[in-house]
Amino acid sequence: MRLLGKQEIEDIAIGAALLGTGGGGDPYIGKLMALQAIEEFGPIRLLSVDEVPDDAVVVPSGMMGAPTVMVEKAPNGEEAIKAFKSLENFLGKEIFATMPIEAGGINSLLPLALAARLGLPVVDVDGMGRAFPELQMVTFYLDGISASPFVIADEKGNVTLLNTIDNHWAERIARNATIQKGGSVMMAIYPMVGKNLKDSGIHHILTLEEEIGRSIRLAKKNGLDPIAEVLKLTQGFELFRGKVIDVNRKTETGFARGTARLEGLLSYKGETLELRFQNEHLIAQTEERLLCVTPDLIAVLDAETGLPITTEGLRYGARCVVVGIPCDPKWRTPKGIETCGPGYFGYDVEFTPVEELVKKGVGVK
Amino acid sequence: MSIYRIGIDVGGTHTDAVILDQEYRVISETKTPTTQDVSSGIYQAMKQVIAKSGVPGESIKYAMLGTTHCTNAIVERKRLNHIAIIRIGAPATLAVKPMIGVPDDLKEVLGKHVYIIRGGHEFDGREIAKLDEEELYRIAHEVKGHVNSVAVTSVFSPVSRDHETRAADILKEVLGEAVPISLSCEIGSVGLLERENATILNAAVVNVAKATAEGFINALREEGIDAQVFFGQNDGTLMAVEYAMRYPILTIACGPTNSLRGASYLSGYSDALVIDVGGTTTDVGVLIQSFPRESSLAVDIGGARTNFRMPDLLSIGLGGGTIVRIQEDGTFTVGPDSVGYRLPEKGLIFGGDTLTTTDVVVALGKAELGDRSLVAHLDRELLEQIYARMVEMVEETIDKMKTSADPVPVILVGGGSILLPDQLKGASEVILPENFGVANAIGAAIAQVSGQIERVFALDELGREQTLELAKSMAIMEAVKAGADPKQVVIVDIEDVPLAYLPGNATRIRVKAAGELAQVDEGIKA
């Protein structure tokens, strides 16, 4: 067990933006909520997975809906508590701790705000190791754990308990209810026990985020290359260095889909990288070569500061370094690829691990 | 009788002034040092430029001022209004209170009367809760006599401004017309905290703007000038004094914008890169249809994160007074520090003791200034290397600001632009227009009047084309309201960004229209 204070929160927010792979929502508002909660209720206890008893109930907490709505209609802080209490009531068991459902973006920070308010510990684990857009895209789903029963709650006090037959129905119904509630709700979902976390979760993820944030911050201070530091920490690869020359986006079925093109600089001169995204970056390729494919992580970093750039923040002239990071091995199983590989997002591309793509170079069709 | 206009722009180092005739020809120009209180420097520049021009005071009918008063007040946390902050949004938003993330010293000055009340809207225009009017009346009575400015921010006011305007009515009813009310829907876009911060800062500098305007008008009167007075905004257009008192925050960063606009006018180019070399920094901006490209990122003002429009600029520490240091081993550094306005005493060519970038160009024979013999002893080869580094710094910045690999026209302005050569990498041509030294004051003088709207629209209702047309006509109406000639207003910028995870194709649309000032009819005015 260790305590998370303000500096740790600041660092986690940067790491969360990086693992958000361009999506996941700007962690800024989540960070402020966590900071205000710490100010009012004191620091947060962070537990490693080993510290959670096998039969203790752990419930992830997070937001569902449009991050754009959340930065305008910020939560009141009680939604997540109401969702928790309602689920606790239904389960008839006391909740031992909370955790992030996804490591990327805003949802990494929200459980911290809740934990501070409730005095609950947070477990150093999540179900994605990155950001993904849909409820079933978690490693718990791969092991047959159900999202249900789960609760979504809005700031007005509306609390909705859902018990669905599978996780796709959960996604569909909850998404519609979210729109009715104003486009952004807090949820208590995927109730689990300690044993589930040990078997199916992605461990040490908050610590990794914190280390990423800290190394970028300290690299700046100590005159080191922040990108090299990030690659070391994540066992990632530099895929490309270049300048954004074109961004093309549109909203389809609720997703910000699009492509961005980068013109190579330095040793990449003469090459053009294409990034394809749907909220998150999903594919990185040049004219000749495939470089990285979902569920492996593609992060775009500012070439100078090493700070992550979201797909919304991608703009003409931005100097970036694109990095590829191997995803958790759980995602590289057939069911994992089926759940959030390129085929699920509608791309006619085979998944190949980034470390192989970087080594061999696989031609693009 | 001819009609003249005076344009004044306050920079970090110099305050510049010009007088233009009806055809925008430069009659006279002047540069004076910017003073600590800013105002005395403005009056000084004004007196000088009028005296130089020989133009009779009564024929100066327009006066345009671009000033740093509001920025300075915020940065120094001085002369700020006593404000009340009212957020309309409960039961939402309580998890992030107003001014969270703002530096403590600013919070201490401005955060004395903070309220969050029930109300606000959803993204689709439904009410989150009914506006709590009773509570508003209570607050209004509570702060009466304690505050002289109020900031009101309602959730999703860029979608529906109903609760903000109703709140303004109630506050005015209790506090009277004399207490200005700043509404967030008129200042920023979606993003509650950033818009709220911008609104709070706006409310805080109302008095500063008022005092500045009154001082300026009085100073003009003393010179026998009875002119229409306008303030420069950071989008390169003007606002009438009455408008500036309501939205003083919009004057922040108008200086660099004035340079861009002046560069456009002087060169005749509407799409180009502008490099403004001052005494301490070089600012690079981009002209699109004669207006500065705006930044899409959050902007910090005095440590507070805001999201109102700002020109997209890249600044580097290279100006006429930038200090060059040569080490024992022959290596060197350029800046980032500068002798600033003290160049005429510090620079080697002026008999001073500090090697500056200006000394380098004079020593190399690239500019005529001061006494070249005082730098004749310097190693020419090394100077060439230093000069190459200076040019490289600018060329790197040009490349960062460009939107494509194609070369673009580059316009040089500002007193320090003698530092740069007539060819630059990435530039299709380099233009050094006449009167380049006072492009900023000219930019202020010739500025147009604009109107802008920024709202979230559901494209599914009218379709994309019709929605854009609607947004355009709203922007044109705003411009005309602000004083633009209806016959000349054109759309200068459109941006639409779809919002993820929402139905109905919710899209944030921003449109700006601008046009020439509707001319005062001489017959009526006289």
The whole-number pLDDT of residue B357 equals 95
**Res B454 pLDDT > 50:** yes
CB–CB of A73 and B503 under 8 A?
no
**Of residues B518 and A353, which shows the higher confidence score?**
A353
**B-chain residues within 8 Å CB-CB of A256?**
498, 500
pLDDT on residue B18: 95
The better pLDDT of the pair B10, B133 is held by: B133
Mutate to test the interface with A, among B397, B403, B501, B509 (most CBs of A within 10 A): B501
Distance of CA A46 to the CA centre of its chain: 18
Structure tokens at A125: 């684990």
CA B194 to chain centre: 18
CB B5 within 8 A of CB B19: yes
| pLDDT top residue among B496 and B26 | B26
Q: What is the CA radius of gyration of chain A?
A: 19
Give the pLDDT of residue B503: 65
Burial class of residue B305 in the structure, from the number of CB atoms within 10 Å of its CB (0-12 exposed, 13-18 middle, 19+ buried): middle
Which among A66, A71, A315 is the nearest to B501, CB-wise? A66
Q: How far apart are CA B255 and CA B252, in angstroms?
A: 8
Q: Does residue B94 or residue B520 have the better pLDDT?
A: B94
Q: How confident is the model at residue B228 (pLDDT cuts 50, 70, 90)?
A: confident
Pick the more confident residue, B234 or A54. Answer: A54
For range B118-139, the mean pLDDT: 95
Provide the 10 A C-beta neighbour count for residue A337: 18
What percentage of chain B exceeds 70 in pLDDT?
Answer: 96
Adjacent-strand bridge partners of B299 = B306
Best-predicted range by mean pLDDT among B244-258, B423-437, B501-515? B423-437
Q: How far apart are alpha carbons B307 and A29 in whole angstroms? A: 14
Q: Which residues of A touch B297 (CB under 8 A)?
A: 313
The radius of gyration of chain B from alpha carbons, rounded to an integer in Å, stands at 24
Residues in chain A within 8 Å Cβ distance of B299: none
* Predicted confidence band of residue B501 (pLDDT cuts 50, 70, 90): low
Question: Searching chain A, which residue's CA lies closest to the CA of residue B101?
Answer: A32
Chain B residues 506-525 with CB within 8 Å of chain A: 507
* pLDDT tens-digit map of A152-169: 999 999 999 999 998 888
My answer on whether omega of the bond before A149 falls inside 30° of 0, hence cis, is yes
Query: Count of CB contacts below 8 A, A vs B?
Result: 130
Q: What percent of chain A has pLDDT over 90?
A: 74
C-alpha dihedral, B223 to B228 to B232 to B235, nearest 10°: -160
Q: Which residue has the tokens 């229409």?
A: B228
How would residue A94 be classed by pLDDT, with cut points 50, 70 and 90? Answer: very high
Question: For residue B459, which phi and psi values (nearest 5 degrees)?
Answer: -65, -25
pLDDT at res. B235: 82
SS3 labels along B133-149: HHHHHHHHHHHCCCCCE
Beta strands in B135-187 (DSSP E): 149-154, 181-183
Contacts of B101 in chain A (CB under 8 A): 32, 35
Question: Are B192 and A76 a contacting pair at CB < 8 A?
Answer: no
What pLDDT does A361 receive? 55
Distance from the Cα of residue B174 to its chain's centroid: 34
Nearest in space to B483 (alpha carbons), one of B454, B449, B507, B508: B449
- Does A365 have pLDDT greater than 70? no
Name the residue facing A250 among B91, B96, B498 (closest C-beta): B498
In the predicted structure, residue A53 carries a pLDDT above the cut 90: yes
Please give the DSSP secondary-structure letter assigned to residue B233. Answer: -
Looking up tokens 């520090």 gives: B337
CA distance B194 to chain A (A): 9
With H, G, I as helix, E, B as strand and everything else as coil, classify residue A162.
strand
| pLDDT for the residue B521 | 47
Residue B404 forms contact with A (CB below 8 Å): yes
Shortest CA distance to B249 belongs to which of B297, B291, B200, B282?
B200
- In this complex, the residue of A72, A182, A313 whose CB is nearest that of residue B192 is A72
Per DSSP, B237 falls in state E
Burial class of residue A12 in the structure, from the number of CB atoms within 10 Å of its CB (0-12 exposed, 13-18 middle, 19+ buried): buried
| Mean pLDDT (whole number) for A48-54 | 97
Would you call B400 and A319 a contact, using CB atoms and an 8 Å cutoff? yes
List helix spans (H) across B23-63.
Answer: 39-53
Residue B281 has pLDDT above 90, yes or no: no
What is the spatial distance between Cα A36 and Cα A254, in angstroms, rounded to a whole number? 31
CB burial class (10 A; 0-12, 13-18, 19+) of residue A128?
Answer: buried
Q: CA B478, CA B454: separation in Å to the nearest integer?
A: 12
Each residue of B341-387: pLDDT tens digit? 788 889 999 999 999 999 999 999 998 889 999 999 999 999 999 99
Instruction: Point out the residue among B95, B402, B503 whose CB comes nearest to the CB of A76.
Output: B95
Whether pLDDT at B526 is above 70: no
Residue B33: CB atoms within 10 A of its CB come to 13
The Cα A14–Cα B370 span in angstroms is 51
Q: What pLDDT score does A165 carry?
A: 93
Of residues A233, A234, A363, A365, the one with CA closest to residue A297: A234
Please indicate whether residue A278 or residue B88 has the higher confidence score (pLDDT).
Answer: B88
Average pLDDT on A163-184 reads: 89
Q: Say if B157 is an interface residue toward chain A (CB within 8 Å).
A: no
Q: Which residues contact B280 (CB under 8 A, 6 or more apart)?
A: B12, B13, B317, B319, B321, B322, B338, B340
CA B34 – CA B372 distance, rounded (Å)? 28
Within a 13 Å sphere around the CA of B7, how many CA atoms are in the beta-carbon half?
A: 32
The pLDDT score that the predictor gives to residue B525 is 33
**Residues on chain A bordering chain B, Cβ-to-Cβ distance under 8 angstroms:** 29, 32-33, 35-37, 65-69, 71-78, 113, 155-157, 179, 182-183, 243, 245, 249-251, 254-256, 263, 279, 312-313, 315-317, 319
B519 has pLDDT over 80: no
pLDDT in the model for residue A285: 95
For residue B97, what is the nearest residue in chain A, using CA coordinates?
Answer: A36
| Peptide linkage before A295 cis (omega within 30 of 0) | yes
- Summarize the confidence of residues A172-196 as an average pLDDT: 93
Name chain A contacts of B96, Cβ cutoff 8 Å: 29, 32-33, 36, 74
Q: Read off the pTM.
A: 0.85
Angle at B12 between CA B216 and CA B27, to 5 degrees: 55
pLDDT at residue A87, rounded to an integer: 96
pLDDT band at B500, cuts 50/70/90?
low
Nearest to A183 among B123, B192, B402 (CB): B123
Mean pLDDT, range A121-137, rounded to an integer: 93
In tens, the pLDDT along A281-293 reads 999 999 889 999 9
pLDDT band at A319 (very low <50, low <70, confident <90, very high): confident
Tell me whether strands B272-277 and B304-306 are parallel, antiparallel or unpaired: unpaired
What pLDDT is recorded for position B284?
A: 93
Q: How many CB atoms lie within 10 A of CB A199?
A: 13
Determine whether the interchain pair A74/B101 forms a contact, defined as Cβ–Cβ distance below 8 Å: no
Rounded to 10 degrees, the C-alpha dihedral A191/A193/A197/A198 comes to -170
> In this structure, are residues A18 and A230 in contact, taking their beta carbons and an 8 Å threshold?
yes
| Mean pLDDT of the residues in chain B | 89
Pick from A26-30, A87-91, B263-267: least confident? A26-30
